[in-house]
Amino acid sequence: MPQPRASRLDRGKRQRPGFLARHLPPGTLKRKIVLWGVIPLLVLIISYVVVDDIVMPTITRHGSEFTLPNFVEQRLIEARMELDDLNLRFEMASEEYSPGIPEGVILSQYPIAGTKVKGGRAVKFVISLGQKMVPIPDLAGQSVRQAMMDLETAGLQLGEITWAFSDTLPEKVVVFTYPASGTEIALGSPVTLMVNHGRSADYTYVPTVVGLTLNEARTLLDSKSLRTGVITYRFEIDLLPETVLEQSEPPATELEIGTEIDLVVSTLD
Please state, in angstroms and as integers, the Cα–Cα distance from residue 34 to each residue in 38, 48, 108, 119, 251, following that order.
5, 20, 62, 46, 96
Note whether residue 59 is domain-resident.
Answer: no
Q: Name the pTM for this structure.
A: 0.49
Q: Determine phi and psi for 112, rounding to 5 degrees.
A: -75, 165
Task: Residue 72: name the closest of 90, 87, 85 by CA.
Answer: 90
Note whether residue 177 is domain-resident.
Answer: yes
Whether the CB-CB separation of 8 and 15 falls below 8 Å is answered with no
DSSP code of 24?
S
Task: Measure CA 24 to chain center.
Answer: 72
Note whether residue 99 is domain-resident.
Answer: yes
Q: Tell me the torsion sign for CA atoms 170, 171, 175, 177.
A: negative
Note whether residue 113 is domain-resident.
Answer: yes
Please count the structural domains in the chain.
4
**pLDDT per residue rounded down to tens, the chain (269 residues):** 455 554 554 554 455 555 556 666 666 776 666 667 667 777 778 877 776 666 555 555 555 789 999 999 999 999 999 999 999 999 999 999 988 899 999 999 999 999 999 989 999 999 999 999 999 999 999 999 999 999 999 999 999 888 877 666 788 899 999 999 999 999 999 999 999 876 555 778 899 999 999 999 999 999 888 999 999 999 998 889 999 999 999 988 888 888 999 999 999 88
Integer Cα distance of 81 and 24 in angstroms: 66
Cα Rg of the chain, angstroms: 43
- Kindly report the CATH number assigned to the domain that includes residue 182: 3.30.10.20
Q: Are residues 189 and 211 in the same domain?
A: no
Q: Print the domain residue range for 186.
A: 132-199
How many separate helices (H) and strands (E) can be counted in the chain? Answer: 8, 15
How do 203-205 and 254-256 pair as beta strands?
Answer: antiparallel
Q: CA angle at residue 240 from 238 to 242, to 5 degrees?
A: 125
Note whether residue 11 is domain-resident.
Answer: no
DSSP code of 169?
S
Q: Are residues 190 and 148 in the same domain?
A: yes
